[in-house]
Amino acid sequence: MLDRIDVAFLPAEAALFDAATFIVVDLFRATTNIATLFAAGVTRLTAAATIEDARALAAARRALLCGEVGGLAPAGFDLGNSPVEARTAAVAGREAVLFTTNGSRALCAVAGRGEVIAGAFANLTAVAEFVAAREGHVVLVCAGDAGGRRFSLDDCVGAGAFVRAFTALAPGAALGDAARLAARTSIDDARGSHHAGLLRDLGLGADVDFALLRDTSRAVPLVSSAGAGWAALKNASIG
């Protein structure tokens, strides 16, 4: 059973925790999008730390090139970072490469530190059940804003939902300072966050609403291999 739950408000804090399992949360929108792409049939998704890495990886693997800079798909990308778009895109059986300002970088930063999973409200129950069967220490890693340098309330809300789920499944687990604070946040905090406002201003309010829906995906996107500037995820879900 899990015995300790921590939250890293920024990816750099994750390096301070010697844990078996890390769940990266970029609620708006990368980890919601990853959960959705796997639910839509993507076979493998490689998160890239830079846009140059993403372009090179997608070309080498003949993969769909997905992601955003400033919230929108850069020129030449097949898809943006929109889970609403991903839900109905023709991606089944394809590989994908994803570059985003915060989420894909956070996955690359944490990859290799333990079992690393991409989590969001979209796959909350699937990931919580997968991880709650583990022993030891789990860390929720908020992707943050400004390339992972600034706190972002929406990611904290997503992390808090996992803290509450794990506390219900493993009532004896100890909570770190940030986990206690995150557990008290609500969907309304995510709706009122700085990041939600930016996305609405870009006309992407539907992605905000979608990211707050629970269990639209049964995917458990798990990092299966990683190198300098990339982390490849596969769906470890059995359901």
Q: With CB under 8 A as the contact rule, which of the stretches 84-92, 129-137, 151-159, 207-215 interacts with a second copy?
A: 151-159
**Is residue 183 part of the contact set for a second copy (CB under 8 A)?**
no
Q: Which of 2, 4, 9, 31 binds a second copy (CB under 8 A)?
A: 9
Q: Which of 19, 24, 27, 156 binds a second copy (CB under 8 A)?
A: 156
Closer Cβ to a second copy, 36 or 152, answer by number: 152
Alpha-carbon torsion, ordered 13, 68, 32, 172, to 10 deg:
0
Q: Which of 18, 59, 112, 151 binds a second copy (CB under 8 A)?
A: 151
The C-alpha angle 99, 46, 117, rounded to 5 degrees, equals 100
User: What is the smallest separation between the CB atom of 15 and a second copy, expressed in angstroms?
Assistant: 8
Q: How many residues make contact with a second copy (CB under 8 A)?
A: 25
User: How many other CB atoms are there within 10 angstroms of residue 70's CB atom?
Assistant: 8
Give me the residues that bind a second copy (CB under 8 A), please: 8-10, 12-13, 16, 146, 149-153, 156, 176-178, 180-181, 184-185, 189, 192-195
